[in-house]
């Protein structure tokens, strides 16, 4: 009778199952490391660490699907990592950079953003298997996703790094208003673009690859300006995404 218990106790787990979770832990550690850089006043490194966390966050799901090792544990770990890397870390970074000058108001703004991120991720987990959502069925996301939300929150810092005239860091109230707007966009129900659902026509393949190459080259030359332009392009695309969703929804009802 004891043999089955021993077999259950020492049940093995495939490395294939562990690898996606390791990538998620890299994102978690990058988020925490961004706070360390911010505490040392290394602002560019702190923002870069958050961007690195976003890259790892995009890779873990891909690795899991490629290895066919998706799991409920991995989904929960991913959400916990996102709260730290894209919720807590960016809020702390922005507070240490400029919001601390506003004292309690600045801390309230940081809390609002972090809370909005936690609420967004909780909503995502609650609806992760809800196929009845028209946004999901049509290939759209609900609200601004976590990595992009963190990137948009830190965009004033990127502007400061790219332009370097001190304008962004001297407008704490404006940045506070902007931060609250980003928080609201994250918890909103507006449809947003999903890169996973994008399809490129075959005849556009070469031009699209050329544009991607130009963007990558730009990152080597003017890193923060390119990231800033990507963020602005995303904001501009939001009304177009909403219009595309409404058009799909209306055509489906006919």
Place of tokens 């996606």: 20
pTM: 0.87
- Distance CA(70)–CA(253), nearest Å, equals 34
Which pLDDT band holds residue 75 (cuts at 50, 70, 90)? confident
Nearest to 43 by CA among 184, 203, 164: 164
Going from the N-terminus, what domains does the chain have, and what CATH number goes with each?
A: 10-253 (1.20.120.1760)
More confident residue, 36 or 196: 36
Q: Which stretch of DSSP H or E encloses residue 133?
A: none
Q: What percent of the chain has pLDDT over 70?
A: 91
Summarised one tens digit per residue, pLDDT across range 11-59 is 666 777 788 889 999 999 999 999 999 999 999 999 999 999 999 998 8
Nearest to 49 by CA among 62, 63, 36: 36
Under 8 Å between Cβ of 229 and 118: no
Summarised one tens digit per residue, pLDDT across range 121-139 is 998 888 765 667 777 777 7
């Amino acid at each position: 009778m004891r043999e089955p218990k021993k077999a259950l106790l020492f049940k093995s787990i495939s490395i294939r199952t562990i690898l996606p979770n390791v990538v998620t832990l890299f994102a978690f550690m990058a988020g925490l490391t961004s706070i360390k850089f911010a505490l040392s006043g290394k602002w560019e490194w702190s923002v870069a660490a958050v961007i690195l966390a976003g890259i790892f966050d995009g890779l873990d799901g891909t690795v899991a699907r490629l290895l066919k090792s998706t799991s409920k544990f991995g989904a929960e770990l991913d959400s916990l990592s996102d709260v730290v890397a894209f919720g807590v870390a960016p809020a702390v970074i922005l507070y240490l950079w400029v919001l601390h000058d506003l004292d309690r108001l600045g801390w309230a703004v940081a809390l609002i953003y972090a809370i909005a991120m936690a609420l967004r991720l909780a909503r995502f987990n609650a609806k992760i298997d809800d196929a009845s959502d028209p946004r999901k069925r049509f290939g759209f996301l609900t609200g601004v996703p976590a990595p992009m939300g963190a990137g948009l929150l830190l965009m004033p810092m990127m502007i400061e790094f790219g332009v370097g005239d001190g304008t962004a860091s001297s407008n704490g109230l404006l940045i506070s208003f902007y931060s609250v707007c980003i928080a609201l966009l994250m918890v909103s129900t507006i449809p947003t673009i999903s890169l996973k659902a994008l399809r490129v026509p075959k005849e556009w393949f070469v031009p699209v690859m050329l544009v991607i190459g130009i963007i990558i080259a730009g990152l080597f030359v003017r890193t923060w300006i390119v990231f800033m332009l990507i963020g602005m392009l995303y904001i501009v695309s939001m009304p177009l995404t909403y219009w595309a969703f409404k058009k799909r929804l209306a055509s489906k009802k006919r």
